[in-house]
Amino acid sequence: MEVGQASEIRKPWRAVEDRLAIGALGLMAALPLVEIVGRRIGFGNVIPGSILLVQHLTLLTAVIGGALAARRGRLLALSTATFLPQALKAPARLTTAALGAGVCACLTYASWTFARVEREAGETIALGIPVWTAVAAMAPGFALIGIRMAWSASPSWTGRLAAASGALIAVVFGYWQPLGDLPVLWPAAGVLLAGALLGLPIFAVIGGLASLLFWYDFTPVTAVPLAAYQLSAQPLLPAVPLFTLGGYILSEGGMNRRLVRVFTALVGWMPGGLAVVTTLVFAFFTSFTGASGVTILALGGLLLPVLVKSRYPEKFAIGLMTASGSIGLLFPPSLPVILYAVYSQTPIDEMFLGGLLPGVLLVGLTAAWGVRQGRAVERERPPFRLREAAAALNEAKWELGLPVVVIAGIFGGFVTLVEAAALTVLYAFVAECCIYRDLPIRGKLPATVVDCASLVGGVLLILGMALGFTNYLIDARIPDLALEWVQAHIESKFVFLLALNGLLLVVGCMMDIFSAILVVVPLIAPMGAAFGVDPVHLGIIFLANLELGYLTPPVGMNLFLSSYRFEQPLTRVYRSAFPFLLILAAGVLLITYAPWLTLALVR
């Protein structure tokens, strides 16, 4: 068969995948909107079990989006493999693909077993839809991800077959139980961790470790897919893909251009005004897109030429945008704040109130360094023109009004968090597709939704695997043992907070923020309580450190995104971002040791 013929055969299947992703996200947004309308006109609950349906659509989105991410080579992984010599990159790719295929084969078998159990149980979600139909999507999803990892491992059939042979790991683990005196656990875990450094996707690392630990503990193979299925039991988790979809629609429209005009008109006249504009635009954008790197990719190409043209050194401009790529993480409706609140059982409104002053501090420190640089390089600054400011605000009024709508809806009690996320999608759609018409409904919008699904799928896959890993840690009493060790070796609250900062900086450098929340929060929450740290303050410390981790060499995510976006060597991006890393580190220490910054608005 010709290669072109094979490609043509694959196109219909890809179109089906894309439509499934669009349909899943579309239904997730539509069902809460129907509930809002029904409640406002007095019909109450229009669709029985709609909340459960939306939660199970989150699981379906994770499966479809994960397969899309594998198809596009966008499964999240550490970037350490980029440091490998060129001669070792192909063997490393084959090795990680074989490990990934093995993990996916294990998860496929476990998910299929879990679906059989659920079919026998005969439970339903809503409207007579059986639970097992949702569970059954996981097995083919994991299988497809494993196949695609093996397929992309090499251009030759020999290499692909070698990668696919990793699936035999599932046979070994399915028919051979561990012997207590045989040292299997640590070598196998070491192989997975080494694979992570070579570029094995994070979901496969965490899912493989969880499967290995449960297997070694003689726990049924369904433990990990059962934990992944628990995603559908989280009533607030659908807000994550919905807010992300809203952010994607805004970023693909003309929002970036209009925001630059607004902030230029308002603060561009200041010394270093353009640097301040860059910081504020990035912060506003990140609050809606989360810490996913969309901000750097969406705004970097627009603002770098403007900064360089205004005589800012290119090195400084790249450092500024790299640092600002996650600077709005603490502002509503930030997804990491929501997720942290959900899994730490901290009130969401208190988390957002607690993050306002620390967020302003970090933005202010970044902007202040920009002002310092701007004084030295800016020869001319545009004067403040009231007419231009009014025109810019008028042009961007729909997008600037979105935070007001979301925050008023949530804190006013008019909508739930998931409904607010669905409202964000509708608002962004109307603004970008109908009012501004920057995003054609027939052309660019479907592609935008598919792009969002592939990112969301990669994140949700990690969350599902991290939930399984966390369940094992809790079953093994790891948080209790860690707390006992810390209390035995650390007596000072000051020392504990300093050690916590160091730990979280490493975590933020090595893990994405979403999986870090699920894996690390159960460990540090009891420690914070034991040392008398307010839970809201602990949450802001956690998130601020993770925000700083995005800038921390060698594998901070913003560093690699900037290297990719601006086509610069990583070492140059490191040097560009280093001053901002020091400045923001000082801000994080101030947030840590001045709890009133976090608690002033809360208490």
Give the model confidence (pLDDT) of 444-460 as tens digits.
899 999 988 988 888 88
DSSP 128: T
Between CA 520 and CA 223 the distance in angstroms is: 20
Q: Are 224 and 214 in contact (CB under 8 A)?
A: yes
Q: Is pLDDT above 70 for 393?
A: yes
Q: Is pLDDT above 80 for 173?
A: no
Sorted by sequence, the CB contacts under 8 Å of residue 383 that are 6+ apart come out as 269
Closest CA to 69 of 482, 425, 512, 530: 512
Fill in the amino acid letter for 165: S
Highest-pLDDT range among 4-18, 24-38, 121-135, 548-562: 24-38
pLDDT band at 542 (very low <50, low <70, confident <90, very high): very high
Each residue's pLDDT tens digit, 105-158: 999 999 999 999 988 888 888 878 888 888 899 999 999 999 999 999 888 888
Q: Which residues pair with 246 in a beta bridge?
A: none
Q: What is the mean pLDDT of residues 489-508?
A: 88
Closest CA to 118 of 108, 139, 133, 138: 133
Q: For residues 26, 31, 33 and 35, what is the CA-based torsion angle, rounded to 10 degrees?
A: 180
Domain boundaries, the chain: 14-233, 250-440+477-599
Least confident segment among 54-68, 77-91, 125-139, 421-435: 77-91
Residue 529: CB atoms within 10 A of its CB come to 13
Closest CA to 277 of 355, 354, 357, 384: 384
Cα–Cα–Cα angle for 488, 491, 495, rounded to 5 degrees: 120
Q: Write the CA distances from 146 to 105, 228, 407, 511, integer angstroms.
A: 7, 17, 41, 22
Q: Is pLDDT above 70 for 176?
A: no
Q: What is the mean pLDDT of residues 322-327?
A: 86
Each residue's pLDDT tens digit, 548-589: 888 887 667 788 778 777 878 778 888 888 999 999 999 999
Q: Is pLDDT above 90 for 172?
A: no
Average per-residue pLDDT for the chain? 85
Between CA 361 and CA 378 the distance in angstroms is: 25
3-state secondary structure of 454: helix
pLDDT reported for residue 4: 41
Question: DSSP letter string over 473-487?
Answer: HHHTTHHHHHHHHHH
Closest CA to 31 of 432, 461, 416: 416
What predicted TM-score, i.e. pTM, was given to this entire model? 0.84
Q: Is pLDDT above 70 for 433?
A: yes
pLDDT reported for residue 257: 83
Percent with pLDDT over 90 in the chain: 27
3-state secondary structure of 600: coil
Between CA 405 and CA 419 the distance in angstroms is: 12
Q: Is pLDDT above 90 for 593?
A: yes
Q: What are phi and psi of 117, to 5 degrees?
A: -65, -45
What is the 3 state secondary structure string of 361-417? HHHHHHHHHHHHHHHHHCCCCCCCCHHHHHHHHHHCHHHHCHHHHHHHHHHCCCCCH
Highest-pLDDT range among 52-56, 211-215, 290-294, 540-544: 540-544
Q: Which stretch of DSSP H or E encloses residue 546?
A: helix 535-549
pLDDT band at 175 (very low <50, low <70, confident <90, very high): low
Between CA 292 and CA 564 the distance in angstroms is: 14
Q: Is pLDDT above 60 for 178?
A: no
Between CA 142 and CA 136 the distance in angstroms is: 11
Q: Are 470 and 522 in contact (CB under 8 A)?
A: yes
